């Protein structure tokens, strides 16, 4: 089982993610509902970037695979945390550009490209 610093149980016995009561979220937004812990995402980004700096003298770019979850906010988080962005489609490029992601940190690849 995955354990995160951002998971907890509040005084009502409800699961919390990043301090947010999941029962309250379910009542407000319905289910299924996807909740991400931004602090945990940022912590993980920083650990990867730090590892690249310490072990490879910063000679590399840690890239988030945007196909895992591509949205404006995830692109903004990755931009702020000095990550690169791995994209494989026009839609992912569009989302990155719309989020203000620096193009020099976007890595575009894939197996279904034409000339």
Report H helices in the chain: 22-29, 38-56, 72-80, 90-98
Do residues 85 and 64 lie in contact, with contact meaning Cβ atoms separated by under 8 Å?
yes
Each residue's pLDDT, cut to its tens digit, for the chain (115 residues) gives 456 788 999 999 999 999 999 999 999 999 999 989 999 999 999 999 999 999 999 899 999 999 999 999 999 999 999 999 999 999 999 999 999 999 999 999 877 666 6
- The C-alpha angle 53, 57, 59, rounded to 5 degrees, equals 90
């Amino acid at each position: 089982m995955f354990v995160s610093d951002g998971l907890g149980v509040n005084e009502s016995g409800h699961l919390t993610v990043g301090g947010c009561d999941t029962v309250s979220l379910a009542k407000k937004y319905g289910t299924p509902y996807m909740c991400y812990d931004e602090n945990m995402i940022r912590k993980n980004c920083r650990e990867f970037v730090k590892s690249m700096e310490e072990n490879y003298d910063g000679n590399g770019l840690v890239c988030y695979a945007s196909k895992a979850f591509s949205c404006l906010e995830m692109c903004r988080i990755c931009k702020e945390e000095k990550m690169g962005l791995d994209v494989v489609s026009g839609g992912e490029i569009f989302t990155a550009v719309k989020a203000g992601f620096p193009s020099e940190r976007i890595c575009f690849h894939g197996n279904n490209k034409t000339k």
